Amino acid sequence: MERIKCAIIGSGNIGTDLMLKLIDHPTLELTLMVGIDPKSEGLALANQLGIETTYEGTKGWTEREHMFKIVFESTSAKAHMANAPLLKELGKIAIDLTPAAVGPYVIPYVNLPDVLNETNVNLVTCGGQATIPIVAAVSKVTKVPYAEIVSTIASKSAGPGTRQNIDEFTVTTARGIVNVGGADQGKAIIILNPAEPPIMMRDTIFCQVENMDQEAILSSIHETVERIQGYVPGYRLKIDPVFYDDRVVVTLEVEGAGMFLPKYSGNLDIMTAAAVEVGDQFAQHLQTTPV
């Protein structure tokens, strides 16, 4: 089938890494890279790869809206809030990598089939992509009255956009723990660790449970980790889950693929990998859905 044309808005680290993941993709054809800085490294690399670019931001992509059907937004929550109505008016599908949360949350392994008829979906946050599947794995087995996640990332991997969106990160991730993870209440904490050499992304998930069926919970967690490794190979349990009283504690590590970003930037890599997985499923859905 013919590949579905797509564009990336945002030529920073996340957008550039996403671009490299989309090159030669079997269902998605990257036709446009959008930025606002004519000296952007991402735009320069896109030009080298033969992808059309513009540094005129919104003006640039609206004038070229005939070139794409799917848009990957990798700018900021504020920028996507402004872009979302325009994208909707133009009939585009928006896959949002910012914490703007204009559309419903999507975690590929957990709920992607449920949102394929939406025109704007939100990838929550890097911490959400790493931890919400584990909360969902536990809530499949038993009721989870409360879940809390602590996401620790290398300070060097947190660019200006990430730092500007920290408040949105905590709010959006907490909501995702409830809305997608299935917990009754959720809380999210992010830590920027300045250690040298930079650390890998680490995530700790605390789940309060009503019925402690250790074997069933462990099986569900391992199945979830294995499935996520299908699109995020560097996603793994750091240690086996710990059970005590009415709580389950899971510790993860996420290593990046090292395409454009350093391998310690697993927090960024998991977002771009999830975006590709979501984009692929939307493309297949478009290819098989009658007009």
What Å distances lie between residue 233 and 14, 64, 114, 179, 274, CA to CA? 18, 35, 24, 26, 11
CA separation, residue 248 to residues 3, 22, 82 (Å): 43, 37, 40
| Short-list 14, 6, 63, 61, CA closest to 40 | 14
For residue 220, list its beta bridge partners: none
Query: Which of 71, 95, 126, 250 does the annotation list as catalytic?
Result: 126
How far apart (Å, rounded) are the C-alpha atoms in residues 208 and 287? Answer: 42
Q: Residue 173 is encoded by which pair of tokens? A: 């991730």
Element (H, E) at 164: helix 160-164
Is 126 labeled as catalytic in the residue annotation?
yes
Give the DSSP per-residue string, 37-105.
-TT-HHHHHHHHTT-EEESSHHHHHHTTGGG-SEEEE-S-HHHHHHHHHHHHHTT-EEEE-STT--S-B
Residues classed as catalytic:
126
